[in-house]
Amino acid sequence: MSQVILENKSVKQNTLTPENELLICCSRTFIDEKNAIKIKKLLQEQINWQFLLEIAAYHKVLPLLFLNISKFGSQSIPINILNSLREYYYLNTQRSLLMASKLVNILNIFDENGIPVIPFKGPILAATAYGDVSRRSFGDLDLLVHPKNFIKTKQILIAKGFEPYADSNEQEAAYLKSLDEKEQEAYLHRHWELHLTNPSEQVTLDVHQSILSKEFSFVSNSEWIWEDTKLIPFVDKQILSFSAENLIIILCSQGGKDCWLWLNRICDLAEVIRTHPNVNWEKIWQLATKLRMTRILLLGLSLAHHVLDAQLPELMLQKIEANSIVKALSSEIVTQLTCTAKDSTDSTTQSQFKFALFHLKLIEHPWDKIVYCYEHIIVPTIADKSFIRLPKFLSFLYYFIRPLRLIASFLIKTKTI
């Protein structure tokens, strides 16, 4: 396969403020000569340093910003800004190392119980793609287990001091804790991930049985992941990890799920591409086609290439150029990246509506769009069930309550705007 690299069409300069441009230049572990010159030039301009810190924090790339601007022009940076960045970097490094050690302890629990597990994102992605756990910010720890071990995993972790929680509000968390054993099993069978927290250890886990929710029906099955894993070293262990080809598809799907709101998601993908120059792109394309995820894949690759200069083979660049929907979505996201957190914040209902429209554009098969709408609009969520507790014989009413609550919420928010 030809590995000719086509000329990159970089982010249009007239869409970027100096702060945006400096952040994008610094959001990578390897700075080539072109970006080094650009960083030095930008550091001579009138930078709004507080604004730069705000957007770097929003996009979760503060460690890379600190490492790169301190390398190229610390004398140009106000001392209070440099001190703030340095303090964050050191605190992030300490926390990352602590979380890495906690992850090892958790993986030992899985080893003791004979449950295969794949840790991903968090310290694993930081170490393997960024080269150092200090270079990437992360919060919780993510684990993938096989669906057949999902309930057993929950039971084992509960016995080790973890407890379920809802990542939205206390009312939903209380609902989860109130479920009896059978109700909890039914809940787990229905959901793609389980949020667990261990207050004494100060660690939060997201345990997944799939990489995406059932709203994205085409990738709810995870067998393709387990059929292609590898062992990698981490601390003093050999741990299961995704193949490079699967990891690229997974990062594209995770970014698409979150509508590529944050620059760090593009950084993750660009760094994985950079550290795997011999990845099998034909295999990636064949798998994405099989999973009906070609649009999701191409959008992620387009962003990594156009925003962070990730090198792609001619095969992928031609497919991106030929896909008008991907090009339109990519342009939309680049514009979105130049907004601050304040600019991009909508009400919850507005955000849900925008996310749904974005997802429907991203989903390429008509049947998958129908399934997405059904799962999103009709199937009741924890929020619906915690909103009103119905006896089991009336539980079918939740399928009517769900759309009614969505309509009511939308109308209320519309009137307040």
Tens digit of pLDDT for each residue in 395-414? 888 888 888 888 887 676 66
Q: Is the pLDDT of residue 59 over 70?
A: yes
Q: Is the pLDDT of residue 322 over 80?
A: yes
Q: What is the percentage of the chain residues whose pLDDT exceeds 70?
A: 85
Spans of all domains in the chain: 13-146+209-345, 359-416
Task: State the pLDDT at residue 264.
Answer: 96
The answer to whether 21 touches 333, Cβ cutoff 8 Å, is no
Average pLDDT over residues 164-185: 67
Residue indicated by tokens 């509960």? 158
Name the burial class of residue 143, with classes exposed (0-12), middle (13-18) and buried (19+) by CB atoms within 10 angstroms of its CB.
Answer: buried
Q: Which tokens sit at 115? A: 């449950």
For 61, phi then psi, to 5°, come to -125, 25
For residue 8, name the pLDDT band (cuts at 50, 70, 90). Answer: very low
Higher pLDDT, 163 or 301: 301
Q: Which tokens sit at 49? A: 């340093």
pTM, entire model: 0.89
* Lowest mean pLDDT across 201-215, 229-243, 326-340, 401-415: 401-415
**Cα(305)–Cα(307) distance, integer angstroms:** 6
**pLDDT, tens digit (0-9, with 9 covering 90-100), for 63-105:** 999 999 988 877 788 999 999 999 999 999 999 999 999 999 9
**Cα(10)–Cα(32) distance, integer angstroms:** 15
**Cα(276)–Cα(226) distance, integer angstroms:** 20
